Amino acid sequence: MSRTRTAQLMDGAGLARRVVEEASDRAAEVTRRSGATPCLATVLVGEDPASVTYVRMKRARCAKAGIESRLVSLPAATTTAELVETLRSLSRDTGVHGILLQHPCGPHIDERAAFEAIAPEKDVDGVTMSSFGAMSFGLPGFASCTPGGIMRLLDEYDVDPAGRHAVVVGRSAILGKPVGMLLLARDATVTYCHSRTSDLAATVREADIVVAAVGRPRLIRGEDIKPGAVVIDAGYNPGNIGDVDFDTARLRARLITPVPGGVGPMTIAVLLAQTVTAATTQLGLVRG
């Protein structure tokens, strides 16, 4: 009997597979119709092991999905100006449809300046201010990949944010802020919490939808989850530990993303899907 009270798991891994399959089919269609293959350029500064691993993984996924991937590896000593010039050059390159700047780039790089050198129509990672504006104002544009993946997960499990109270814990430029804006665009009442929030637990207790995106292991405890809430754990912490204490939260939530296998796989899936969409638009196969 007690098992029936635990939350249903939101299977991000499974959904991501389907999203990638669909992207792969669309990529093949692009190639068939235009002769060109959708191409994602990935820019890597330095040789941070985690970044190298992420990039390798993304390139392998591209290859499997029929998306060309071009790796631009720059030395760790690359300046912001050089990085900006590289990104501008890729923005002009008609053979490249999507651009991903692997970040963090290192403390000597002005990442915002670098992001803004990416043409909005190639910003398949959704990091430019233009993409953020589009997400905020409900305009066409690419979502940041993790927030976009979270919205796909909610849709997949028929969670309509309209009129629900969504509490977003974390306010980063690529995760907390945009996911809040996407939820607001879908008519949720949205609260942004962060390190300066005076009573995080009390705020989380009022949430119909919790999005944890702060990178602090098990910060959100099960006792603070409102019974029946939807819990999205976008936390990345060493040892595959999320921002939510999964074992206790699942006893109160209605739906919950596991870590790993929840939000994580959606990020690359959305990246690939958006790359194919960018290619489709840029190659004139649909009206942009």
**Binding residues for a copy of itself, per CB under 8 A?**
112, 129-130, 132-134, 136-137, 139, 162-165, 171, 173, 177, 180-181, 184, 187-194, 196-198, 203
User: Does 171 show up as a binding residue in the annotation?
Assistant: yes
Q: Which is nearer to a copy of itself, 55 or 114 (CB)?
A: 114
Q: Distance between CA 38 and CA 110 in Å, rounded?
A: 29
Give me the phi and psi of 224, to 5 degrees please: -95, 0
User: Does 170 show up as a binding residue in the annotation?
Assistant: yes
Shortest Cβ 39–a copy of itself spacing (Å): 26
Whether the CB-CB separation of 138 and 188 falls below 8 Å is answered with: no
Query: Whose CA is closest to 154, among 241, 221, 213, 229?
Result: 229
**Strand, helix or coil at 254?**
coil
Q: Distance between CA 45 and CA 271 in Å, rounded?
A: 19
Pair of tokens at residue 206: 């009022």
Shortest Cβ 197–a copy of itself spacing (Å): 4
Shortest Cβ 43–a copy of itself spacing (Å): 21
Shortest Cβ 246–a copy of itself spacing (Å): 25
**CA distances (Å), 150 to each of 25, 145, 174, 275, in order?**
22, 9, 13, 18
User: Does 252 show up as a binding residue in the annotation?
Assistant: no
Q: So which residues are the catalytic ones? A: 58, 102, 125
Q: Which is nearer to a copy of itself, 34 or 91 (CB)?
A: 91
Pair of tokens at residue 126: 């959704």
Q: Which is nearer to a copy of itself, 8 or 195 (CB)?
A: 195
Q: Which is nearer to a copy of itself, 34 or 136 (CB)?
A: 136
**CA distances (Å), 206 to each of 45, 160, 167, 189, 218, in order?**
42, 17, 8, 11, 18
Instruction: Enumerate the known binding-site residues for NADP(+).
Output: 170-172
Instruction: Enumerate the known binding-site residues.
Output: 170-172
